[in-house]
Amino acid sequence: MKNDFGIVTNIQQFAANDGPGIRTTVFLKGCLLNCKWCHNPEGVRHFPEVFHFWPNCINCGNCAAACPTDAMTEIKNPPTYPDQKGWKGKLGSKIIQINKEKCINCFQCVDACDFDALVVSGKFMTVDEVITEVEKDIPFYKESGGGLTLSGGEPTAQPEFALALFKAAKEKGINTALDTSGFQSWSLLEKILDYTDYVLYDLKHLDRNQHIAFTGVPNDLILENLKKIVLREDVTTYIRLPLLPGVNDSEENIRATGAFIQSLGLKTVYLLPAHPFAGQSYRLVGIDYPFPIGESYPEEKATVAKTILESYGLDVKMWIAWVEDNISDKSPLKEPAVLPTTGT
């Protein structure tokens, strides 16, 4: 069947921030935007790929020897970061990095590494395989009102797979939530919406040029699709607003966003201040993160944004990721098997 397979980055059980109740969030690989702050950079490309989980690396060189395209580059004196407490001893004065230009994703390096320091992100799964995982938590959904959330990447970038997953979930009596940027043709989106209970809609910037600058695409389609979604009485829509320093947190943009949401008759907004760990994944992926790593978004500024949005009659819920100390103990990079996935 054409839509029976898809590429899944991760399946996260007991997700508390991806829609109502306790949910299972399935992250689909591939995105149609290229947000500078993306919390899931491993989800952007549309194919399985290898990442270097460098906290586990001992620089033995076995991976470089196994690589048929000479894609392993050695970096001397790698930079250190405030969230690397406990890692520095292992890292030493040099580290290998994967040159993505040369890598053909053959995964021979993964087999050559005895230390779980190379991780494949993205796995082909069937609809049945995903739903089997999701239905394990049906008792929790019943207790809490939770269900299945599709996130990414951008879940609608695999439209047939997303549709098939939601159809299968509905057949099992599981409610469905779509975490989307909305950057998709309406004809594809509305087919998925026919099997969607909740939409978590990301609004990144109201200014068209700024939206292009920070995400790579204009926001016209996104805003137009949202206007259409809110007209559907079978779907409940929540807005998710990532708060990024110097990107979209000006008073002008927050007011424009509040006024736009109010004009649609929507009530609930989830405010997501930049996560202090968001940049960690970038080092695994091997690309630069343009924001400070390990620094929390200032609580006072987030509170100001919340107050402005509330002045438009909105019910603003804050997803707080402020962590003051002991960062390494809370690092999502402690476990190599699953790359960190959260946020928008």
Euclidean distance between CA atoms 282 and 54, whole angstroms = 12
Print the binding letters for residues 113-142 with ligand SF4: x by CB under 6 A, - otherwise: x-x-xx------------------------
Rg of the chain over all Cα atoms, to the nearest angstrom: 20
Residue that the structure tokens 């970096």 belong to: 75
Question: Among 22-30, 34-42, 101-109, 166-174, which window interacts with ligand SF4 (CB under 6 A)?
Answer: 101-109
Q: Which of 98, 193, 222, 327 binds ligand SF4 (CB under 6 A)?
A: 98
**From residue 51 to residue 90, what is the string marking binding to ligand SF4 with x (rule CB under 6 A)?**
------xxxxxxx--xx-x-xx------------------
Site for ligand SF4 in 31-50 (CB under 6 A): 50
Alpha-carbon distance of 93 to 258, in angstroms, equals: 49
Answer yes or no whether residue 105 interacts with ligand SF4 by CB under 6 A. Answer: yes
Please give the Cα distance from 22 to 249 (Å, whole number): 30
3-state class (DSSP) for residue 93: coil
Backbone angles phi, psi at 251, to 5 degrees: -60, -40
Residues 176 and 19: their CA atoms lie apart, in Å, by 9
CB of residue 296 to ligand SF4, shortest distance in Å: 31
Closest distance to ligand SF4 from the beta carbon of 65 (Å): 8
Select 73 or 185, whichever has its Cβ closest to ligand SF4: 73
96 sits near ligand SF4 (criterion: CB under 6 A): yes
* Closer to ligand SF4 by Cβ: residue 118 or 192: 118
**68 or 82: CB nearest ligand SF4:** 68
DSSP, collapsed to helix, strand or coil, labels residue 212 as: helix
CB of 120 to ligand SF4, least distance (A): 9
The answer to whether residue 108 forms part of the interface with ligand SF4 (CB under 6 A) is yes
Q: Which is nearer to ligand SF4, 113 or 148 (CB)?
A: 113
Q: What are the DSSP calls for 123-138, one per residue?
A: EEEEHHHHHHHHGGGH
CB of 34 to ligand SF4, least distance (A): 22
- Using CB under 6 A as the binding rule, whether residue 285 contacts ligand SF4 is answered as no
- Six-digit token string for 78: 């790698």
Report the alpha-carbon distance of residue 93 to residue 257 in Å, rounded: 46
Interhelix angle 127-134/159-171, nearest 10 degrees: 50
The answer to whether the CB of 84 falls within 8 A of the CB of 144 is no
Taking the complex as a whole, how short is the minimal distance between the CB of residue 95 and ligand SF4, in angstroms?
8
- The piece of 29-37, 106-114, 241-249, 334-342 that touches ligand SF4 (CB under 6 A) is 106-114
- Minimum distance, C-beta of residue 51 to ligand SF4, in the bound complex (Å): 10
Positions in 208-227 near ligand SF4 (CB under 6 A): none
Q: Which CB sits closer to ligand SF4, 4 or 335?
A: 335
* Residues present in the chain in total: 344
Of 199, 165, 164, 169, give the one whose Cα is nearest residue 184. 199
What's the rounded Cα separation, in Å, for the pair 251 and 245? 12
Using CB atoms within 10 Å of the CB of residue 240, give its burial: 0 to 12 exposed, 13 to 18 middle, 19+ buried: buried
The contact set with ligand SF4 (CB under 6 A) reads: 50, 57-63, 66-67, 69, 71-72, 96, 98, 103-109, 112-113, 115, 117-118
